[in-house]
Amino acid sequence: MNTFTPLPSDTLKNWSPDEVAIFKKLARPMQVGTGRVIFREEDCSEYIYLIETGHVKLSQNTEFGNTVTVAVGRSGEVVGVAGVLTGEQRAVFIETLEPCMLWKMNKQTFVDMLHQYPSLAVHIAAELGKRLRRAHQTIMNITSYTVERRLALLLLELATTATPNDNRARITFTLTHQEMADMIGACRQTVTIALGQFKKEGLIKVGKHIEIIDAAKLKDR
């Protein structure tokens, strides 16, 4: 039986051991369970959080009273940065999708750290730049790709693999069909049909979690 573990994140793999140690020395560890709300929309932006392990869901409430899932944060990412740096209220609320190990740092300590350690400031700026690029890519995908293609890319993005070269992968947390639909700009019914088609073709297995059987073929959908 494969043990699925997250690949190194694009954020932390670029940090030196000394930089990680500096961050953790200034922050406070938080071990939290599934379904824990880390902060809510329109809260004051007082803290940033480093996700060491686990995944979190970023959502927004619309003017029509429904909740839309906009992204999933994964291990190695720092969340809550934009509000802390701009002084604005939280634009999203964040909830854990599985047990997570987080590191919490208050606003003033974070700002002081960026001034004192320019290399960490560069890493944080690079992370924000990557998020902006991903947002642009999402818009392009919605305007250019079919729902099946967008869903396949989302599943591959959310999955973790047993080894970097493994063709099998698993999403270690649960998202509803509606939440996946929100993230790719589709309706729930279409996502349900597409998942059924992927299962029929032997690309995925659907149980408690979605397991990708053939990542290479799914990538070509």
Dump pLDDT digits (tens) for 15-31: 999 999 999 999 999 99
Sorted by where each begins, the domain ranges of the chain are: 12-142, 146-219
Give CATH for domain 12-142. 2.60.120.10
pLDDT confidence bin for 12, thresholds 50/70/90: confident
Task: Give the global pTM.
Answer: 0.87
Highest-confidence segment of 118-122, 157-161, 166-170:
118-122
Q: Among 137, 37, 159, 171, which Cα is nearest to 92's?
A: 37
CATH architecture of the domain covering 146-219: Orthogonal Bundle (1.10)
Q: How far apart are CA 50 and CA 78, in angstroms?
A: 4
Each residue of 73-98: b (16+ CB within 10 Å) or e?
Answer: bbbbbbbbbebbbeeeebebbbbbbb
